[in-house]
A = this chain, B = another copy of it.
Amino acid sequence: MSETYDPDTLAQAVARGMTARDNAAQAMGVEIFDVKAGSAAARIVVREDMLNFHGTCHGGLMYAFATSVLAYVMNGDNRAAVAQACSINYTRPAQLGDELTARCRAVNQAGRSGVYDIEVTNQKGETVALLRGQSSKIKGEAVPGLNVEFGIEGMG
C-alpha cells in the first residue's frame, strides 16, 4: 500500500528497508541521509583499505560509494530498479581520512528509464567526482512487503 504515503515518507521507509540488507554499503561504511523522493545523500570516510597504489582513494571505490546513494534514489518509490549504465568524471583525488559526501538527484524519468546526477565533494566542499547514472525499472518491489510505518526515525 505504498501509494497511500507521501513520496518522501515512502522513500525514507524504502531506504530503511534497503539499508538493513545492503552488505556492500555497510562494508564500505556508507551512511545514507537526507532521503527524499528523487534525492538522497551519503557520507563515507576514506579508509586505509580504500587506497590505491598511488596512496589516494581508489577511483573504483569512490564510484562504489557514489553509486550506493544512487541505489536509494532510483528505488525510492519502492518499484525495484537497477543501474543500467553509469559514467564518472574524476576531478580531484581524495586522501586518507577525507570525509566524502555524495549527493544524488533524479534528473529525468521517461517510461521505465531514469537519469540521475551525483556529485561527490570532500570536507572542503571541493568536487572530487561527477557521475551520471541511468536506471531501468525491473519487476518487483525494492523492499518486498515494506512496512512504511516501521522505524520512523533515521534517513530523513
Contacts and interface: CB of A to CB of B under 8 A. Distances in A.
| Number of copies of this kind of chain in the complex | 4
Chain A contact patch, size range: 35 or more
- A-B pairs, top 5 by smallest CB distance, nearest first, are A60-B64, A24-B58, A87-B87, A27-B49, A60-B67
Interface of A: 17-27, 48-55, 58-61, 63-68, 71, 80, 82-93, 107-108, 110, 113, 115, 127, 130, 132, 134, 136, 142-143
Given A24-B51, A60-B60, 13 more contacts: A17-B53, A21-B55, A23-B49, A24-B49, A25-B58, A53-B142, A58-B64, A63-B63, A63-B86, A82-B93, A85-B85, A89-B132, A91-B115
